[in-house]
Every structure is written in structure tokens, then in C-alpha cells.
A and B are shown apart, each in its own frame.
Chain A
Amino acid sequence: MKLIKKYIPLAIVFVFGILTLLTYYVPHKHSVNFLEAMNKWENIVSAFAFFLGLISLFYSHYAKISRKADGWGYSIFVYIGFLAIAVPAYVSHGKNMNGSSLTWLGWAFQYIYNPLSATMFAVLAFYIVSTAYKSFRIKSLQAFVLFVAAMVLILGNVPLGQMIWEKLFGWTSCAISDIVDWILHVPAVAGKRGIMIGIAIGAVVTALKIIFGIERQYLGKD
């Protein structure tokens, strides 16, 4: 049983890992054919991964309703929201537009899913302002550097900020947009590139550990 439960899966990750890795360096016809088949398979398997999220969400809210847990009534709206999209999708056969007019699905997207999704993230604008006011404290030289970079970007990004800069520092004949460009192309590149190289090393090591079966957490418990 251990063979089926553990060793074969580990052999799969090793074999497919090594073979796809080799395809990057071996432009042979067989290698391309193999990769093409794997691309198609991978795409299909990934699609099923979505159902993990769907089942998990449905199950947790079903459990809440059946246990009559605190706020269980709201869980019903999860199913209502799902049906509000799924039913129009069925009616419209998954089409959003009919020529230049909306289908039922297009309507449901535009007036239900779109405002919900967009507003969820728009709310964060309010928090960034209050955080800027209440928590952005210049307590050290490092924080001061962060403050200067942030301030230049905040003002340099909008026309009014550029005008204010012109009024205050126009005499330097140095446009704020040039400073923004410089920050983004020189010191910020150094900062990000350091992070990028570090992450790349980490990612490659993790991928190797997965292929060689050293990293197995994703397999779950035995």
C-alpha cells in the first residue's frame, strides 16, 4: 500500500519534474511532442483544482447553516450569490455579449459581480489614508528615506502634485517627473533586484526539493 500511497506519487513528481526540466534545454522533436502533451494535460488538471475551492466554500457554509452557527443566515447569501451568476450563465450559454448588447450573464457580471468585487478592494483606499495619517511616522533616518521616496511618488504621480512641485522647487529646474523616473530606474531597481535574486534562488531550491521528494508538505499527512 505504501507503494501506491507514497512511492508512486513521489516517482511521478520526480519523472515529470526531470523530463519537463530537460525539455527546456533539449529542442528535439520528441522533447517538444512530450512537452506539448504535458501542456495540454497540465491545463486540464489545473482546471479541476478550482473545484477544491468551490467545494470547500460550499461545505463550510453548509456546515454553518446546518449547525445554525452564529450568523448562519448570512451563509444563505453565498448560495444566492452563486446562483445569481450560475443561472444567467446557463441561460446565456456562458456568453457575455450578444453583438453589442449584454446577455443575462453579462448583466449579472456588470451589476452584481463587478460592483461587489471592485468595491471590496476600493474600500482599502480609505484605510491607506487613515494609516498614512496615524502610522506613517518618521522616527529614523531609514524611515525618512522611505518618506522622501513616498512623497516624491505621491506628488509626482498627479498633475496637481507636479504643479505644486513647480511652484516650490521650480527654481531647481529639476522636474519631479524626472526624479520619479530616476527613483524607479536606479535605487528602486537595486532594491527590487536584490529581492528578486534572493527569491529566485529560494524558488529554484524549493523546486529542486520538490522534484527530489525532500519537500513533501503538499502531499498531506500519511
Chain B
Amino acid sequence: MPDTTLLIAGAWISAGLTIFLFSFLYKDNPFFKIAEHLYLGAGMGWWFQVYLFDVLKPKVWLPLMNHDWLVIIPALLGLSLITQFIPKISWVSRYGFTFLMGYGSGLAIPAGLATDFINQIGGTIQPFANLTGMSAFTFFNSVLMAVGVICVLVYFFFSLEHTGVIKKASNVGIYFLMIYFGAAFGNTVMARFSLLYGRFDKLYAFSSRENFYATQIILIGMVIYFILHGFFAGKKTASGEEAA
């Protein structure tokens, strides 16, 4: 299996691809475009092999080899989806799609109703069932939440004209939404930084002596490219202007 040389080669490839993608932050360039296209292909390649080895082989191919002929039905329904690309018979794909949609919709209705509708209304009302055992702060929070939910729902209720009390309630709803979006923004900062930390941490690891300073060398290479590109692009523009 991959020996030390291959691991070092991996570090160079990985550092290179990472820096190529980051280079877009300075300016669009061919290295970024190459890495971007590689990403599309590698992503598809990864999914392809997972589908092949984890799903199609054990769930379709092997059962067929064991004469489990019932698998042919979903396999044909699945294959029908691909006729989407052949205009003359693209209607065949409807058989696969309608099966997927029917099954999905049938399961989504009761689950959606129970989990995101009834349970959420229950969650808003439930705290008031224990009024006697509630502290003043918990009571305040429960009221605040109930008022918030109602006001946000009013904000999204477009069948009534937003005037008078409805408008006031809807305005209050906006503040609750703003707090939610603010919290989401605050956390988005952490999420994005975490991802960046992940890449920088790897680049730091690849910058070690054991990896022959992959990060530094590739980074310097990119800087030289941009300097040379800027220089020659400037020259080209200048000569173009002269010729004009």
C-alpha cells in the first residue's frame, strides 16, 4: 500500500490543490480553474464508486446473480429515469419519477404533520400545563416563546391584509425572526472559520520538513506566477496601446 513516498506525493498534491483553489481569492487564474474542474470530476468519481460498490453491486447485481428476480422491477424503474436524456422516449422516465414521488409524498405527509406541525404546537403550549411548578423566569420565557411563534406565523400569513393589530403582531414577529437570523449569522461565522481552520491546519502540516516544505514552495510558485502574469499582462496592454 502507499508508502512514504506516496504520502509525501499526496501532501504535495493536496497542498497544491488547496492553494490553487485559494488563489481565486486574489484573482481568477488557470490553476484555480483546473482545480475547480478536477473537483467536479473527482466528486462525481467518488459518488460513482460509492453507488457502484455500496448500492448497485450488493443491492442489484448480487441478488440478480442469486436469481432474486424481483429486483428487476426497481432496477427497471431506476433505469427508466435515464431515458430523460432521450427526447423521443423521455416519457418512460415518468414511471421512475412517479414511483419516487408517490412513495416520498406518502411518507412525508404524516411525518411532516406529526413532527413539524402538531409537535411544534404542542411544544409551544405544553409548558403552560405546569404553571404551578414554574419559576417566574420560566413563565416569562414560555410566554415570550408563545407570543413569538404566534407573531411569526402572523407575519407569514398573507391571506389577511397586514393592517392594524395584524400589522403590529407581524412587526413583532420580524424581531423574533431577526434574533433567529442573527444567531444563525453568528454561528455561520464559526462554521466557516472552522472549515478554513481545517484547511489551514493541513497546509501547516504539509509545510513541514518531512513533506519537503510543500506549502511554502507551492505558495511561492503561485506568487511568482502572479507577478510574472501581472508583468507580462502589463507589457501586453502597453504594446497594444502603442500599436493603437
Contact B37–A44 (Cβ < 8 Å): no
Q: Are B145 and A190 in contact (CB-based, < 8 A)?
A: yes
Kindly supply a per-residue 1/0 record for chain A positions 1-27, scoring 1 wherever the CB is within 8 Å of any chain B CB and 0 otherwise. 000111011101111111111111100
**When the two chains form their complex, are residues A153 and B192 in contact, meaning their CB atoms are under 8 A apart?**
no
Complex contact A149–B153 (CB within 8 A): no
A143 to chain B, nearest CB (A): 8
Tell me, in angstroms, the Cα distance from A58 to B174 when the chains sit together: 45
Cβ-based interface call for B231 (8 A):
no
Point out the residue from B38, B57, B186 that lies within 8 Å of A77, measured CB to CB: B38
- Which listed residue, A86, A124, A185, touches B45 by the CB 8 Å rule? A86
On chain B, the residues within 8 Å of A188 by CB distance are 179-180, 183
Docked Cα-Cα span, A60 to B53, in Å, equals 26
**Would you call B41 and A78 a contact (CB within 8 A)?**
yes
Known contacts A9-B94, A149-B186, A153-B182, A194 near B198 by CB under 8 Å: no
* A17 and B103 contacting across the interface, CB-CB below 8 Å: yes
Please name all residues of chain A whose beta carbon is closer than 8 Å to the beta carbon of B53 when the two chains form the complex. Answer: 89, 93-94
Evaluate whether A51 and B81 lie within 8 angstroms (CB atoms) in the complex, with A80-B38, A85-B42, A186-B141 already known: yes
Complex: A42 Cα to B44 Cα, angstroms:
22
B91 to chain A minimum Cβ distance, whole angstroms, is 5
Chain B residues within 8 Å of A, Cβ to Cβ: 1-2, 6, 9-11, 13-15, 17-18, 21-22, 24-25, 30, 33-57, 59-60, 71, 73-75, 77-79, 81-82, 84-85, 90-91, 93-113, 115-117, 120-121, 123-124, 141, 144-149, 151-153, 155-156, 173-183, 185-190, 192-193, 195-196, 198-199, 202
Please list the 5 inter-chain residue pairs (A to B) with the smallest Cβ-Cβ separation, ordered nearest first.
A153-B186, A190-B148, A81-B41, A194-B152, A149-B182
With a cutoff of 8 Å between Cβ atoms, the chain A residues found around residue B123 in the complex are 193
What is the bound-complex CA distance between A41 and B99, given in angstroms?
Answer: 9
Q: Is A115 a contact partner of B46 (Cβ separation < 8 A)?
A: no
- Chain B interface secondary structure, helix, strand, loop or mixed? helix
Chain B residues with CB under 8 Å of A118's CB are 195, 198-199
Known contacts A84-B38, A149-B183; 9 additional CB pairs below 8 A are A48-B79, A89-B52, A118-B199, A119-B199, A124-B195, A150-B185, A154-B190, A187-B145, A204-B109
CB<8 Å pairs between A and B, sample of 14? A18-B106, A41-B74, A47-B60, A74-B33, A85-B48, A113-B45, A125-B192, A150-B186, A154-B186, A182-B141, A188-B180, A191-B178, A193-B152, A195-B177
Which residues of A are interface residues toward B (Cβ below 8 A)? 4-6, 8-10, 12-25, 38, 40-59, 71, 74-86, 89-90, 93-94, 98, 101-105, 107-126, 128, 132, 142-143, 145-154, 156-158, 182-201, 203-204, 206-208, 210-211, 218-220
- The CA of A49 and the CA of B44, in the complex, are separated in Å by 13
Nearest CB of A to B230, in Å? 21
A211 touches B60 (CB 8 A): no
